[in-house]
Structure 1
Amino acid sequence: MSGFDHSALVVIGGGDMVKLWTILACFTALLAWSGGAGATDRQAEPCPTALDVVLQVTFEDGSARAARALTMADLMALPRSGFFTTTIWSEGTQHFQGVWLKDLLGALDVTEGVLTLSALNEYLIDIPVAEVDESDALIAYERNGAPMSARDKGPLWMVFPYDRDLRFQTETVFALSVWQMDRIEVGR
């Protein structure tokens, strides 16, 4: 067996011999498949930058449709609001900051119709524009002082001051609490 490198062999159990490079190749493939030693760095979802489009708003006006792509900077240019509350999806009191839904609709000149809110996972729910003023819905872009990644229910999460009043602790309001919100369609 001239030219054969015996140092590349490993004895496994009952005398079976397996080449070390085969083990290393399998280990390397496993690391690549799982994300490797730095998996948390690679798997960590980045938060959007100021110039990233985070919300698509489409308007239906008779037979015509218009669209507006809003960046994080666009949302942050609107009056900033926030509150502390607990949610059924997180532990402890959370501090949410963002823009009131009614302020966003005012900036977009939306005064009537029905909003269809959509999430990254294609979750859809409707809310009449007439109900928005009394809803206290906040489109949050920060939670506990930090932007939210998609893995953290962001970048946008429509939240309500759940602790403020029992009317915010209903299945209807919970269903309107859209996380990973990325689209609003304004229909008639």
Structure 2
Amino acid sequence: MRRRPLLCMLTTLSFPGAARPTAAAASDTILTLQGQVRHGRQDFSLAALEALGLEHLATVTPWTHEVQSFSGVTLARLLRAAGADAPARLRAEALNRYGTELLPEDAAANGALLATRLDGTPMRVRVRVRDRGPLWLVFPWSQRPDLASPQVYERSIWQLRRIEIG
């Protein structure tokens, strides 16, 4: 059991600049990328995900009705780090098994953000659905009124746990 973290650490040191699957226990994993990504599967802890670089977004959401301050990793940055620069298909799944298809342009042109923090505080992980954590895919609705549509709202998945890339 003790060899695995050391092996994972050595593996990540061998590939500088590559997206690093976490060496943490499975219980620390908050997001799994599967499919057409480097190594076939990548698990991210909160720390590993945020290490990709935090962006900030202040926007009104259809569910909160007031400006909220989100921090997280852009979907575009996550996909680049995973080696999936131009995916043909993205399927997102929540903790409750809700699934939705994301459009490739959500990453590139639509500014989707995988929010890990709300008002500077990590979003709660295993509490209530209304907490929407640990990850919530949000869009810049205040800056881009053209994204205020039922189709985009449907893709704004909270309690995100997995993205299948095809």
Q: Same fold (TM over 0.5)?
A: yes
Which one-letter code corresponds to 2:152 in the other structure? V
For 2:31, the equivalent position in structure 1 comes to: 55
Gapped runs of 5+ residues in structure 1?
Answer: 1-50
**Residue pair 1:147, 1:155 contacting (<8 A) in 2 also:** yes
**Residue pair 1:112, 1:130 contacting (<8 A) in 2 also:** no
State the Cα distance separating 1:101 from its structure 2 match.
Answer: 0.1
For 1:142, the equivalent position in structure 2 comes to: 117
Gapped runs of 5+ residues in structure 2?
Answer: 1-23
**Residue pair 1:100, 1:136 contacting (<8 A) in 2 also:** yes
Q: Give the Cα separation in 1 of the matches to 2:154 and 2:108.
A: 18
Give runs of aligned pairs for residues 1-188 of structure 1, distance below 5 A: 52-60=28-36, 66-110=40-84, 111-150=86-125, 151=128, 152-187=131-166
Larger Rg: 1
- Provide TM-score, normalisation by structure 2: 0.75
Say how many residue pairs are matched: 134
Structure 1 stretches of 4+ with a deviation exceeding 4 A read: none
For 1:23, the equivalent position in structure 2 comes to: none
Q: Give the Cα separation in 1 of the matches to 2:143 and 2:36.
A: 34
Which one-letter code corresponds to 1:74 in the other structure? A
- Do the aligned partners of residues 112 and 53 (structure 1) sit closer, same or farther apart at CA in structure 2, a change above 3 Å counting? same
For residue 126 of structure 1, give the secondary structure of its aligned residue in structure 2.
strand
For residue 132 of structure 1, give the secondary structure of its aligned residue in structure 2.
helix
What CA RMSD, in Å, does the superposition of the two structures yield over aligned residues? Answer: 1.7
Identical amino acids, percent of aligned pairs = 34
- Do the aligned partners of residues 70 and 122 (structure 1) sit closer, same or farther apart at CA in structure 2, a change above 3 Å counting? same
- Provide TM-score, normalisation by structure 1: 0.67
